[in-house]
Structure 1
Amino acid sequence: MVAKRMTQSPKSNAVLVHALGSGVRSLSNGLADVPPLLTRVLQEEAWREFTTPRGELIRHEKFLDFVLAPPTAGLGADIELVRRIVANDPVACELLEHALNDTQTPDQNTSVAAGDSHEEQQLSKAHQAALKRLHRDAPEIYKKVVAGELSTNAAMVEAGFRAKTFSVPATRPEACARSLKKNLSETHLRELIKLLTDTY
């Protein structure tokens, strides 16, 4: 589905744009309203030209610029947040991705900033893959991520898709022991002690 350019006035566009911005910034109240609002904003391309509540005329050439621009010149949001909010609405998702692809230059990436290292890019890809799996296989836990109740990593652990990990200080045996006691079950502690005893 491709968005059709509509010839609306900046003031008419402003109504849609500001409603969408309010929904994105107030997830607890506006989450259900965001996908249909985003659909209209994209279909009518209201994001290209609108007025702020103070009457300032705003113009954007790229949809990504509109998403990142601070309120009330834009949504003041991260593109991955917007993607998560509309993930359950196929129409909004398709329009969103089309708008991003249509307004990006070839060297832009919506989820990885220019100049990021290879390691940072790989982490971002892993993050996106985790969100997709949660959305597909653990929708209830995925909702907690969208609501900000869980980090993506904690959600993956809770869903059983990723093993819980933790760090221990390598040069402080007593601190290492405290960390192991805190994070391991009694069964796993006994197994670890047996393995260490058998080894040494």
Structure 2
Amino acid sequence: MCGGTLWHGLDKSVEDLRLYCRRDPEALRLLDAEVGAAPPHGGARERDDQADNVSLRHGNSPIYALRRLKRDRPDLADRVVKGELTPHAAAIEAGFRRRLVQVPVDDLDAAARVLRRHFGDRWADLVSRV
């Protein structure tokens, strides 16, 4: 079971429920509509409470992204609940996350293809400046 808070007396966290309902867009929409906003900024920053290497307590989960959107960008949170955006895409649009791509390090040709796909023909110029 995920380490998140158990939801309304159920024996499952919201993350577990989203995983269970991942193939049912309507169930996901209903779950996302019930998720509350993130608490106000601040609070204790205890290293033992760290969920992963991304941030304290909440990491990079879709639920945390949605809660933060509900707190700071309700317009984008509404679009997530309606199914128009994923929590990740909305967080990128809100500026909470950066868009990242994976570049293989064991195959130079594959790395070049990834860079060209995302940066166009400017990729060689970008790499040469590093």
Give the TM-score of the pair, scaled to structure 1.
0.36
CA RMSD of aligned residues (A): 3.7
Residue in 2 that maps onto 1:140:
75
Residue in 2 that maps onto 1:167:
102
Mark the CA change 1:135 to 1:185 in structure 2 (over 3 Å): closer, same or farther: farther
Report the AA paired with residue 153 of structure 1.
Answer: H
Give the whole-Å Cα distance in 2 for the aligned partners of 1:185 and 1:164.
16
Give the whole-Å Cα distance in 2 for the aligned partners of 1:125 and 1:81.
21
Mark the CA change 1:191 to 1:159 in structure 2 (over 3 Å): closer, same or farther: same
What do the CA deviations read for 1:53-99 (whole angstroms, capped 9, x no partner)?
xxxxxxxxx8537xx7xxxxxxxx56x953x31458x9xxxxxxxxx
Residue in 1 that maps onto 2:5:
none
Residue in 2 that maps onto 1:152:
87
Runs of 4+ in structure 1 displaced over 4 angstroms?
185-189
Give the whole-Å Cα distance in 1 for the aligned partners of 2:120 and 2:69.
26
Mark the CA change 1:188 to 1:181 in structure 2 (over 3 Å): closer, same or farther: closer
In the alignment, structure 1 segments of 5+ residues that lack a partner are: 1-61, 69-76, 91-117, 196-200
Mark the CA change 1:189 to 1:143 in structure 2 (over 3 Å): closer, same or farther: farther
Size of the alignment, in residue pairs?
92
What do the CA deviations read for 1:18-51 (whole angstroms, capped 9, x no partner)?
xxxxxxxxxxxxxxxxxxxxxxxxxxxxxxxxxx
In the alignment, structure 2 segments of 5+ residues that lack a partner are: 1-7, 12-16, 18-26, 38-50
Give the TM-score of the pair, scaled to structure 2.
0.51
CA shift at 1:192, angstroms?
3.0
Residue in 2 that maps onto 1:115:
none
